[in-house]
Structure 1
Amino acid sequence: MKNKIVGTTKRILLTGASGTVGFETLKHLVKNSSYEITVFDLKTPRSVKKFAPFKGCVEIVYGDIGNFSQVEEVSRNKDIAIHLAAIIPPAADIDPDLAYHINVKGTENLIRALEENSPHCYLLFSSSISVYGDRVNNPEISVTDRLKPSCGDRYGKTKVVCEKAIQQSNLSWSIFRLTAIMGNHKISRLMFHMPLDTLMEICTPEDTGRAFVNAIAFQCQLKNRIFNLGGGEDCVISYRSFLAKMFEAFGLGDAGFPENAFAEKNFHCGIMSDGSELDEIIHFRRQSLADHFEMVNQKINPIQKKITFLFRKLIKRWLLSQSEPYLAYREGNEKEIEHFFIKNKKKIVEPIFQ
């Protein structure tokens, strides 16, 4: 435990605590009685419900991180700021202006407020593997690799801007570039954007939240450094296999989609070849890919799974209708075809749903 920081009460600001990773981070934080925790989040029925059990042990402040005056109110006298607030895909693609407002302007507001009111604060920021762009053909990723978000990836581009702003700030900071965080994901049209041949490394929300909290004690070793955060070798799988296991878990049977329902390029994900460096310092990894699928199976109601199985063909036909790559070929949209596929000519193969 070399260079581990111990001492008096630490005053911690957590943004984005209602999100998947944020909520796990909050649960880890409250286990430590020496932390004074302030949560700053947007007020919604969902966030109010999620934070209800924490009243009395956590200060909850609602506001818009894109509004500087509201951010300034919660930035005073903070030792640690864990900044997880962000608009992620597909919402970031649907409303890029909102993504910029929250992701970029929100981060700039937080930096400015902390510099003015808590200049010695240590800022922990969640970036994304999306900053590396398309890595289907070279899936092993290092923090020294060039940052090149895929064409049309507005979310990845906002993270690059945020990273630069943090590095140019006067604060002490660490940036964790998160791999695919699998938890509470819903099947949507975004599933068709990832090429089936993508090698992906996941990390569970619980392990990711643990990483941010564990990092507090190791500021000396992490200060002003960027790390890739992934679940490790036990969390690597191809997207094709991952999708098959998820469909089976939900009662949807075999996927059965035509190959060109899925894009061939312009997404992200890969394997964090240097991800063990962070774990060797803060020791956050506890769960594997098998644990993820076990958690998925436990969450699915057996009765609902049986009902889903009965209607699996209809559900999968509806899902296919949401595939933008597939629709691009159906409609002959050359611009979209060029965006999603390596070759401009691909035969439409009808699905065989089972």
Structure 2
Amino acid sequence: MTKVFLTGSTGTMGQATLKALLKADSFEIIVLVRDTKKDRKIIKPYIKEKNLQVYYGDLTNYNDVLKCMVGADIVLHCAALVSPAADYCPEAAMNINYGSTINIIKAIKAQPDWEEIRLVYIGTVAKTGDRMPPIHWGRVGDPIKPSIHDYYAVSKVAAERAVIESGLKYWVSLRQTGIISEKMTEIKAPIIFHNCLDNVLEYITEKDSGVLMRNCCNDLPDDFWRHIYNIGGGPGCRMSSYEMFKGLFESLGINNLENVISSKWFAIRNFHGQYYLDSDKLNDYLNFRSQNKQYFYKLYLKKLRLFLPIARTLTRVPGGEKLIGKIIKKQFKKLLLDERGTLNWIVNDKKEFIEPFFISIEKWDEIPLLYKFKHFTDWDKAIWIDHGYDESKKESELSIEDLEGAAEFRGGRLLSNSMEKGDWQTKLEWKCAFGHKFTASPRLILEGGHWCPVCERKSWNYHEIAKRSPFFAQVWYSLHDRDEPLREYPKKVSELDVFPASL
């Protein structure tokens, strides 16, 4: 039997994974659950499963993690403090998301057979930040660029770096996209309006996420490991925010979206999401896709229950569509005036949020009404981001000259003067455009899209980075003017606040 240590079993992806694992008889499952009333209630239906062992504790406590690691063959690390909760608690997000990952890596290395233990780490699409059209198609290796004020993404960037540089023999980082689930239909938070109308995501359903994770426990070829992959549901799961709202409200009989939403409620940039040029690669290994975006509409309509027939009846009579829209708008406006609400920022002139999400009050004023809004249409056109080296080469052919060119393309230098040809794992010495020296493996830089950890920890200083890095400029100047004034935004927390010493 394969012994699986699963984290986050009471969350969306973790619970879907637990259900998928329990359907097979070939797994002995260990879960670490927080000792709270809420989490005990969620895990309770599974307690009597014969192949499930439940421990109560905390992933930020090393001893709790170590206890669960004994005898484990594979770790499925789904647990995280996600947005919008992470937006309000950046320190907690770093402590949980980065701290838990460090504890898991340390606990793996504490085992006598640690080189054989496999780690499946769940990252996020938020690491690459804002990829609004025309750069809405992306792939692994594109620049890491968490959106300003997105501390969930910041914590996951630090955690992924730790995984890639962990020295483990069997690791993989899977960057999760938006998960279509019942929980998604229940989101009542201002983050709804941080998601720009023409922003896109290649979603995946919770069920397919669970199957994906279960299939990671299969006997996979060696070339699956020590890589980063994008999780995506494929063509049937791609949609823009506007398309999603349109489909939802039309299912209620509301055909004029002006009755329920306003274009001025939605940010015009600084969220995250993309369609994937490379998500098929993961599906080829794990064969998990079975559902599409229609699953979301089914969940949404199911959630409405009695309100659905009432809404559909009223929207057929004169004035009914406006009446239903008024009810929905009233609920939305509570969110919009919340601390993190877009209208709250405008009303209170909160420039630290207006600038990243709207550019300025003047630009917000210029946002056209919804019926005049010019939506992007060329969705199939993909602009490939140049990664600064010859990607047609086999990995075994990677040379120091390739790395020197990649470093220069990032505005920096490779300081190491030698490397073993084709070695993607050994850390080398680099220097960024701001003079910070750091060590990193070619895997982290070229396949991960990471760069200087000092710059990443310190602040969001993207305007200045883009001036110096042609690599980064590709994902910045496509969405920002070169002469646009944008200040540096210091970060409240970094991974060094959680674990000052490296592994």
TM-score (norm 1): 0.90
Give the conservation status (yes or no) of the 8 Å contact 2:335–2:341: no
Q: Is the 8 A contact 1:257 1:351 kept in 2?
A: no
Q: Which residue of 2 is the match for residue 177 of structure 1?
A: 175
- Residue of structure 2 in register with 1:132 after alignment: 128
Partner of 2:426: none
Task: Deviation per CA, 1:22-43: give whole Å up to 9, x if none.
Answer: 1000000011111100011212
1:328 aligns with 2:325: no
**What does residue 257 of structure 1 align with?**
261
Equivalent residue, structure 2, for 1:236: 238
Matched position secondary structure for 2:261: coil
2:287 matched to 1:287? Answer: no
Q: How far is the alpha carbon of 1:106 from its aligned partner?
A: 0.8
Supply the distance in 1 between the matched residues of 2:175 and 2:194 (Cα, whole angstroms): 20
- Residues 119-146 of structure 1: per-residue CA shift (max 9 Å, x gap): 0210111100001011003111101111
Q: 1:48 to 1:304 in 2, by over 3 A?
A: farther
Name the structure 2 match of 1:6. none
**Alpha-carbon offset, residue 232 of structure 1:** 0.5
Residue aligning to 1:4: none
Which whole-Å CA distance do the structure 2 matches of 1:333 and 1:271 have between them? 31
Q: Is the 8 A contact 1:196 1:239 kept in 2?
A: yes
Please list the CA deviations of residues 206-264 of structure 1 after superposition, one character each: whole Å capped at 9, or x if unmatched. Answer: 11111111121143242111110011001111111212333456798836433221111
C-alpha distance in structure 1 between counterparts of 2:309 and 2:18, whole Å: 31
Q: Is the 1:17–1:41 contact (alpha carbons within 8 Å) kept by the matching residues of 2? A: yes
Secondary structure at 1:53's aligned position in 2? helix
Which structure has more relative contact order (CA 8 Å, sep 6+)? It is: 1
Report the CA distance between 1:70 and its aligned residue.
Answer: 1.1
What SS does structure 1 have at the residue aligned with 2:28?
strand
Contact 2:346 2:361 in 1 (8 A): no
Q: 1:223 is matched with which residue?
A: 225
Q: Go from structure 1 to structure 2 and tell me whether the alpha carbon gap of 1:198 and 1:25 turns closer, same or farther (over 3 Å shift).
A: same
Separation of aligned partners in 2, 1:146 and 1:173? 21
- Quote how far apart the aligned CAs of 1:173 are: 0.8
Of the structure 1 ranges 9-18 and 302-311, higher mean CA displacement relative to structure 2 is found in: 302-311
Distance 1:121 1:305 in 2: 52
User: Which residue does the alignment assign to 1:275?
Assistant: 279
Indicate whether 1:144 and 2:144 are aligned. no
Q: 1:109 to 1:249 in 2, by over 3 A?
A: farther
Partner residue in 2 for 1:156: 153
Q: Distance in 1 between matches of 2:176 and 2:347?
A: 35
Report runs of 4+ in structure 1 exceeding 6 Å deviation: 250-253, 348-352
Task: Say if 1:61 and 1:293 are closer, same or farther in 2 by CA, change over 3 A.
Answer: same
Question: Within 2, Cα distance between the matches of 1:84 and 1:106?
Answer: 11
Aligned equivalent of 1:33: 25
Q: Which runs of 5+ in 1 are unaligned?
A: 1-8
Separation of aligned partners in 1, 2:356 and 2:309: 35
Counterparts of 1:248 and 1:114 in 2: how far apart (Å)?
Answer: 50
Q: In the superposition, relative to structure 1, how do residues 244 and 148 fare at CA in structure 2: closer, same or farther (>3 Å)?
A: same
Per the alignment, do residues 329 and 46 of structure 1 end up closer, same or farther by CA in structure 2, a change over 3 Å counting?
same
Structure 1 residue 339 displacement after superposition: 1.8
Answer whether contact 1:198 1:238 (CA < 8 A) is retained: yes
Is 1:101–2:95 an aligned residue pair? yes
Query: Counterpart of 1:347 in structure 2: which amino acid?
Result: D
2:334 matched to 1:318? yes
Scaled by the length of structure 2, the TM-score of the pair is 0.64
**Does the C-alpha gap of structure 1 residues 22 and 331 become closer, same or farther in structure 2, counting only changes over 3 Å?**
same
Report how many residues are paired. 344
Matched-pair identity in %: 29
Partner amino acid, structure 2, of 1:267: F
Query: Structure 1 residues 259 and 300, CA, compared in 2 at 3 Å: closer, same or farther?
Result: closer
Letter in 2 for 1:208: S
Equivalent pair of 1:214/1:282 in contact (CA under 8 Å):
yes
Give 2:365's aligned residue: 347
* 1:34 aligned partner, one-letter code: S
